[in-house]
Amino acid sequence: MTKRPSVLISAFADEAANHRTALEQMTALAAIGLRSYSPRFIDLSGDGNVQHVVDLSTDQYKRLNELHTEYGVSVTSIGARVGKVKLLDVDDGSHNVFISQPEYLAGEVAKTIAAAKKLDTKLIRGFSYYHPRGTDPYDHLDQAAENIRQITEACADEGLIYGLEIEPNLVGETGPLLAELARRVDHPSMVLIFDGGNVAAQNKNPVQVYEEYLATVPFLGWMHVKDYAIDPDLEWTGVVDEDRLKNFVPANAGDAGHELIFRDLRMRLPEICSRLKTLGLPGFYLETEPHLKGGGQFGGFSGPDGMGVAVRALCSCLDYAGIEYSLRNFSDIRAERGF
């Protein structure tokens, strides 16, 4: 019998923690059955001090790694905020900030690279810069690609991979735009991250989402999994505002059409995984970032119950598509106890 292609399931564990404490996050991951996650916001000591993972101290990284060992989890990627700044120093009415590229490379990018090395992951999640609101993102491809190339080269110098996520309101807000950025950057250490929910949130139906997924396939590195139910009462203005961030749903319940995407992904996984292996990656990650209780520009929340619902919905989609995955089981527990 031919072995079915498989994926690795991961999660943004801060979405599963009511108070974003490290213990909540590790406990939720272990209870749901996940072995890997992408750290983002975390309260390491449980005193209410929530920090972004790239802002931790050396001692805090050491403690976090100890928790990883204790709970049997590893880091998929750094859930970075790199690239979520203005591309140009233009007052466009948004609250986004502009930071010059040299300053950005020396500051945020350098901190993120250091975090990846301290937490033993090769992957950094990032974004494609905000173009001035009201302008055509195609007019900004060259500048965005140049900035992203510099970030990618900084990552590559340390043996890391930069993953560029599709996201509304950014230069790379569609599959074709993201693919064009990949072609212009033209670097083996940059891959793309598809997120069907981020596309459906732009008022696009399952067929449109699927077409955008196809555009990213030649450069695909991993995938975020959230879904979105289009609200016909919300007028589409071309910009995803906060009102639209309330309609995220599990992967089998929205307009992203994950079943269609995963059926296609099943056929492509052997080739994709072969390409990722040459980059030193263990496989293809599907990472739950469900936003079931709310989302925002720099994160989202689902609660432990919501994350459980989201992972089960993802597994249901994978079962339907014929894609293998592995959650913790009794054999794992016995092995940990030396049986």
Q: Is the pLDDT of residue 237 over 80?
A: no
Q: Does the structure show a pLDDT above 90 at 235?
A: no
- What is the reported pLDDT for 314? 98
Strand 220-225: give its sheet, edge to edge. 8-11, 285-288, 220-225, 190-195, 161-165, 123-126, 77-78
Indicate whether 19 pLDDT > 80: yes
pLDDT (0 to 100) of residue 215 = 98
Say which range, 34-38, 108-112, 201-205, has the weakest mean pLDDT. Answer: 201-205
Does the global pTM surpass 0.85? yes
Mean pLDDT of 81-88: 98
Q: Which amino acid is at 130?
A: Y
Predicted confidence at residue 332, as pLDDT, reads 75
State the pLDDT at residue 243.
66
What domains can be seen in the chain, in order of their start residue? 8-336 (3.20.20.150)
> Is the pLDDT score of 242 beyond 70?
no
Residue pLDDT, tens place only, 192-201: 999 999 999 9
- Per cent of the chain over pLDDT 70 is 95
Residue 198 · residue 168 · CB < 8 Å: yes
Average pLDDT score over residue span 279-296: 92
Alpha-carbon distance of 161 to 143, in angstroms, equals: 21
Would the pLDDT of 173 be above 60? Answer: yes
What is the pLDDT, as a whole number, of residue 339? Answer: 59
166 within 8 A of 201, measured Cβ to Cβ: no
Where is average pLDDT lowest: 37-51, 102-116, 131-145, 325-339? 325-339
pLDDT tens, residue by residue, 113-172: 999 999 999 999 999 999 999 999 999 999 999 999 999 999 999 999 999 999 999 999
User: Is the predicted pLDDT of residue 286 greater than 80, yes or no?
Assistant: yes
What tokens were used for 30? 């272990």
| Spatial contact of 7 and 327, defined as CB atoms under 8 Å apart | no
Could you write out the three-class secondary structure of 216-239? HHHHEEEEEECEECCCCCCCCCCC
Question: Residue 228's pLDDT is what?
Answer: 95
Which residues partner with 288 through β-bridges?
A: 11, 225
How much is the mean pLDDT over the chain? Answer: 94
pLDDT at 300: 83
Q: CA 262, CA 269: separation in Å to the nearest integer?
A: 10
| Lowest model confidence (mean pLDDT) among 40-44, 94-98, 113-117, 332-336 | 332-336
Annotate the chain with three-state secondary structure.
CCCCCECEEEECHHHHCCCCEHHHHHHHHHHHCCCEECCCEEECCCCCCCEEHHHCCHHHHHHHHHHHHHHCCEECEECCCCCCCECCCCCCCCCCCECCHHHHHHHHHHHHHHHHHHCCCCEEEECCCECCCCCCHHHHHHHHHHHHHHHHHHHHCCCCEEEEECCCCCCCCCHHHHHHHHHHHCCCCEEEEEEHHHHHCCCCCHHHHHHHHHHHHHHEEEEEECEECCCCCCCCCCCCCHHHHHCEECCCCCCCCHHHHHHHHHHHHHHHHHHHHHCCCCCCEEEECCCCCCECCCCECCHHHHHHHHHHHHHHHHHHHCCECCCCCHHHHHHHCCC
